[in-house]
């Protein structure tokens, strides 16, 4: 700064003008840009890409395929479209919630860790906007992870075994294009419980102010619910457990489409997501930013 005097002579203080608040969409775009710039973002997405590839590679090398108790197992080598369905089946219980938690649990707490919360909260975007942008970014990441995994699974499956007809849970044969649409719809439907998981992650991220604690905590919550679902005598509450909603998308792969589990999943997941987001919002709004 030794030549400060020689730099611009424009006045640095502007006259008081009309105050303009930043747009939430702008804050959201920047949350995405921050995600894109962080290596940890690619860890989850990498898992979403590599697991379907490993699955297809392993199945291609096997001589005999177990038929299992799922109608899609016998179809692995008959239609590439069976791969994304089976991948959703495998990944939906644990891996995709883990991937969603990686970002949701980190998205507020990382700002605490870096000390950057004070930096962004003293600009012209209010706390509600920042929180909304972070929630939207976490949900966007979860969406990208799900569809990236589905896209890779579909591409790898079709490349290995062809773009063929597929038989749904109800035994109906559907055309390849209809099957592809169903794969897309099933993954979209799975986002409902995944958004609830991400919402819990954002809450823990806001409350704990510690990325690792929030990520592990979110995964811990989903494992706890899975364990609760296995306890004899608690069958009555099972339909209301978050992890039970992971399979709601099965209704789309029946003829006629069974919308009941999807509707049920929507309101049950809302019971988890809405309180988590409201609590996270209130904590974020009122918290003291004393660190950094």
Q: What radius of gyration, in Å, describes the C-alpha atoms of the chain?
A: 23
By the rule CB under 8 A, 64 interacts with other proteins: no
Applying CB under 8 A, does 124 fall inside the site for other proteins?
yes
Nearer to other proteins, 39 or 64 (CB): 39
CA atoms within 13 A on the CB side of 23: 3
Burial of 74 by CB count in 10 Å (0-12 exposed, 13-18 middle, 19+ buried)? middle
Determine contact, residues 129/25, Cβ cutoff 8 Å.
no
**Minimum distance of other proteins from residue 285's CB (angstroms):** 10
Q: Exposed, middle or buried by CB within 10 Å (0-12, 13-18, 19+), for 141? A: buried
Q: Taking a C-beta distance cutoff of 8 angstroms, is the pair 68, 76 a contact?
A: no
Q: Is the peptide bond before 145 cis (omega within 30 degrees of 0)?
A: no
Minimal distance, residue 166 CB to other proteins, in Å = 43
The answer to whether residue 283 forms part of the interface with other proteins (CB under 8 A) is: no
In this complex, which beta carbon is closest to other proteins, that of residue 126 or of residue 247? 126
Instruction: Name which of 86 and 125 has its Cβ closer to other proteins.
Output: 125
Confirm or reject binding of residue 115 to other proteins (CB under 8 A): yes
Closest approach of other proteins to the CB of residue 19, in Å: 4
Among 43, 50, 62, 119, binds other proteins (CB under 8 A): 119
Can residue 136 be called a binding residue for other proteins (CB under 8 A)?
no
**Cβ(95)–Cβ(193) below 8 Å:** no
Residue 132 CA to residue 30 CA, distance in Å, equals: 12
- 114 part of the interface to other proteins, by CB under 8 A: yes
Tell me: does residue 19 bind other proteins (CB under 8 A): yes
d(CA 70, CA 170): 11
- 282 makes contact with other proteins (CB under 8 A): no
- Min separation Cβ 106 and other proteins, Å: 13
Residue 61 interacts with other proteins (CB under 8 A): yes or no: no
Minimum distance of other proteins from residue 126's CB (angstroms): 5
Closest separation between CB of residue 36 and other proteins, Å?
A: 10
The pattern of x and - marking residues 74 through 113 that bind other proteins according to CB under 8 A reads ----------------------------------------
What kind and span of H or E run contains 167? strand 166-167
**Can you spell out the DSSP letters for 201-227?**
HHHHHHHH--HHHHHHHHHHHHHHHHH
């Amino acid at each position: 700064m030794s030549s400060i005097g020689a730099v611009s002579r424009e006045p640095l203080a502007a006259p008081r003008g009309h105050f303009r608040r930043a747009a939430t969409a702008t804050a959201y775009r920047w949350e995405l840009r921050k995600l894109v710039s962080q290596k940890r973002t690619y860890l989850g997405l990498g898992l979403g890409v590599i697991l379907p590839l490993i699955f297809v590679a392993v199945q291609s090398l096997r001589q005999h395929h177990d038929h299992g108790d799922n109608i899609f197992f016998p179809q692995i080598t008959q239609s590439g479209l069976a791969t994304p369905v089976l991948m959703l089946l495998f990944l939906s219980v644990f891996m995709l919630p883990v991937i969603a938690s990686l970002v949701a649990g980190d998205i507020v707490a990382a700002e605490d860790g870096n000390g950057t919360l004070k930096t962004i909260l003293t600009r012209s975007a209010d706390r509600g906007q920042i929180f909304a942008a972070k929630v939207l970014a976490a949900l966007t990441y979860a969406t990208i992870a799900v569809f990236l995994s589905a896209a890779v699974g579909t591409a790898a499956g079709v490349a290995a075994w062809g773009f063929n007809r597929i038989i749904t849970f109800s035994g109906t044969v559907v055309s390849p294009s209809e099957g592809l649409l169903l794969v897309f719809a099933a993954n979209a439907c799975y986002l409902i419980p995944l958004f609830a998981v991400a919402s819990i992650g954002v809450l823990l991220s806001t409350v704990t102010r510690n990325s690792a604690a929030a990520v592990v905590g979110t995964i811990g919550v989903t494992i706890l619910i899975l364990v609760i679902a296995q306890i004899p005598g608690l069958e009555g509450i099972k339909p209301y457990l978050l992890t039970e909603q992971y399979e709601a998308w099965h209704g789309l792969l029946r003829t006629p489409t069974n919308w009941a589990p999807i509707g049920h999943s929507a309101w049950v997941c809302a019971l988890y997501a809405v309180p988590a987001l409201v609590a996270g919002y209130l904590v974020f709004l009122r918290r003291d930013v004393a660190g950094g």
